[in-house]
Structure 1
Amino acid sequence: MSFVSEFRSFIAKGNVVDLAVGIIIGGAFTGIVNSLVNDVVMPVVSVVVGGIDFSNYFFPLNSAVTATTLDAAKEQGAVFAYGKFLTVIINFLILAWIIFLMVKGVNKLRAAEEKKPVEAAPAPPPADIALLSEIRDLLKNR
């Protein structure tokens, strides 16, 4: 088997295609979660903790940094931006929670699908009808 045909066989498998679709949807979903965290959750958290903006929380790593905003501080030198790290952690927790709920929902649907009664196969014809059908088929083949 050549490398190209082996690769083509690998790509054609359902799991690879499912994984690719999942990654693409996950990438698009990241934008939604980032907006949710930055535009909805973090402002609420900021109000609850007294109007604090997490995005500008940083610790200067040298004495040359005197700016009060993160962007300006980064231009002056090295900073430890733990506010952005907190935002990323909140992003992760929200994304993990949403994925957990999605998997839980899919598992619930699968369990409900498995509980559905399986339709019984039609009963085989009586023996005399089956025998007559065999005789008919044999006569047709002559």
Structure 2
Amino acid sequence: MKMIQEFRAFAVRGNVIDLAVGVIIGGAFGKIVDSVVGDVIMPVIAWLIGGKLDFSNLFIVLGKVPENVPMTLDALKKAGVPLFAYGNFLTITLNFVILAFIIFQMVKIINRIKLQDEADSPPPPVPEDIQLLREIRDSLKK
């Protein structure tokens, strides 16, 4: 019974709930960003460079290729041929760079909006003790 109470106290603490919400929103946001990269940006970049922007089938054969095995990545992997398959790494790296740039731009926009909201909001009222000290200072100057 005590363990259940301790777990409940742990689970309802603000930090745990904030973390859970952040993970859930982050997962959903990750899907949105993946879609933007895969479905919007990558096709435009591929169109601009005049071809498919998928390097996943780039590889170097490191071993002997058996007869009657096509020279495709999947077929060579199934045949157990040692490969230096660098193309998938290039594709994932390029996707990461684009994704990081998009997230960077979004954070910049959000920060700009926050700064603008802070500038538009009125300054907080001066605490009473500070106001009294200012009045004393001003009266001493006179």
TM-score tier (shorter): 0.5 to 0.7
Q: Which residue of 2 aligns with 1:74?
A: 77
> What is the 5 A alignment of 1:1-142?
2-9=6-13, 13-36=17-40, 39-42=43-46, 44-45=48-49, 47=51, 54-64=55-65, 67-77=70-80, 78-118=82-122
Identity of aligned residues (%): 32
Please say which of residues 23-32 and 110-119 is displaced more in the overlay. Answer: 23-32
CA distance in 2: counterparts of 1:68 and 1:37, whole angstroms: 30
How many pairs does the alignment contain?
118
Please, what is the CA RMSD of the aligned residues? 3.1
Question: Offset of 1:88 from its aligned partner?
Answer: 0.8
Amino acid at match of 1:103: V
Alignment check: 8 A CA contact 1:33 1:95 kept:
yes
Normalised to the residue count of structure 2, the TM-score between the two structures is: 0.64
Report the more deviating stretch, 13-22 or 98-107. 13-22
Residue type of the alignment partner of 2:98: I
Larger Rg: 1
Unpaired segments of 5 or more residues in structure 1?
A: 122-142
Distance in 2, Cα, partners of 1:46 & 1:70: 23
Q: CA deviation at 1:30?
A: 1.6
Shift of 1:58: 0.4
Q: Note the residue ranges of structure 2 that are not aligned, 5 or more in a row.
A: 126-142
